[in-house]
Structure 1
């Protein structure tokens, strides 16, 4: 019996396939958002390692936010992931929005990461 993928999973796979064509050795900035939190990781797919990560569940980040599920929280995570990426020696990344529409929290995170110094 064939396993069926949801439309979200198909969209996520399609985005990742297109990203792999243009990566050119750059790590990817992957975003995951839930109804209550937002997470970001910089992943080196060649080695299979996470170079930097940030999320709204971290205690020091959580204290300064009203909630982990709004665009202000996403912007804070975008700035934090940019700082951590610079500390890890990463300046250029490929943005992996997953299966999410580039709008709202995902866009706020991406814009804040760009302002923090990441290039994509």
Structure 2
């Protein structure tokens, strides 16, 4: 591993020493928890963060100020809204047909309540509460 001298602020060095002490208290050996290894790890993380920020800035430059992820989320939301509106219109049309409207087995209000309950169940299964 190459060596290089790096100058840092005292506050930074103190933070690194705190991390070393925490790791030693958690049971890490001196080869795993020393100033050099912790500083190298922090530099690697900082480098990755900097590269991600630059990547995001490049995406924004190429995509009129939004990232690829934001563009994807926008399109997904757009498609969900279109699907919902189309479904509502189809249901409205179906329930406006006299034969369906007159049949007591078909109740639009009951269908709406049932759909809401199904959505709640699916959302709870998909995104459980963390409480």
TM-score normalized with structure 2 length: 0.21
Rg bigger for which structure?
A: 2
TM-score normalized with structure 1 length: 0.23
Report which of the two has the higher share of strand.
1
Report which of the two has the higher share of helix.
2
